[in-house]
Every structure is written in C-alpha cells, then in structure tokens.
Amino acid sequence: MSETNSSLYFLGAGLGGTIFASTSASGMWLLESKKPNAKTLGRDFVLGAIIFFLLLQLVPESTMALLTGVVALLPAMTATSYTENTIVQASSISGADEVEVRVGVPRF
C-alpha cells in the first residue's frame, strides 16, 4: 500500500468527508427543516474523512479499487498520466491476494 500515490489518500478523505457532510446537511434540511451551520458541516466532514481511513484499514483493496474507479469518472482527473499511473498502482495492489496464508506455530 506504500506504492500508492499519497494524493489519492487525500482525495479519498476529501471525497468521503464531502459525501458524509452533504448527506448529513441534506438530511438536516429535509427532516428537521433547519439550515446546517459551519460547525456541523465541519464536524461531519472530519467524521467522513475518518470513516474513509477506517474503511481503508479494514478493506484496503476494495477501498482503493472503488476510489480509483471514482477518480476515473471525475472529469477534472482525466489527465492520462494520472489515471494510467493510478490504474497501474491499483493493479499491483490486487496482486497481494495471492499471498499464501500459513497457520500454526512459526518456525524460528
């Protein structure tokens, strides 16, 4: 996972925070008929970024595959060098599925 571009992590945290904050704000506006304030939006943005990093720790391959798919759909990120680099790095991460799992007492 250290091979992955670090800007992809920041993009994922920003995207997770934005999705969480916008969902919370729309729910507050529709259900409670209240306008969300900056403190609430900031809190929800930070929570969304934290949830992204927690998901990245629990299911890293799925999270990175989802993130690279979203990045490929964004029109602002259609530069060929960035998307090709991201896809190559994501395919190298998926090779970790072939690691053999050994059960038992380790040999020293």
What are the tens digits of pLDDT across the range 65-80? 888 888 888 765 555 4
Answer for the pair 92, 3: CB distance below 8 angstroms, yes or no: yes
- Using CA atoms, how far apart are residues 51 and 66, in angstroms rounded to an integer? 15
Q: Quote the pLDDT of residue 103.
A: 78
Structure-model confidence comparison of residues 79 and 99, the more confident one: 99
Other beta carbons within 10 angstroms of residue 61's beta carbon come to 14
Q: Average pLDDT for residues 33-56, to the nearest whole number? A: 93
Residue 105 falls within a domain, yes or no? no
Map tokens 């798919």 to a residue: 69
Residue 108 falls within a domain, yes or no? no
| Total tally of structural domains belonging to the chain | 1
Residue 100 falls within a domain, yes or no? no
Q: Quote the pLDDT of residue 99.
A: 66
Burial, 100: exposed, middle or buried (Cβ in 10 Å; 0-12, 13-18, 19+)?
Answer: exposed
Q: Model pTM greater than 0.75? A: no
Q: Quote the pLDDT of residue 106.
A: 74
Provide the percentage of residues in the chain whose pLDDT is more than 70. 72
- Show the domain range for 85: 6-94
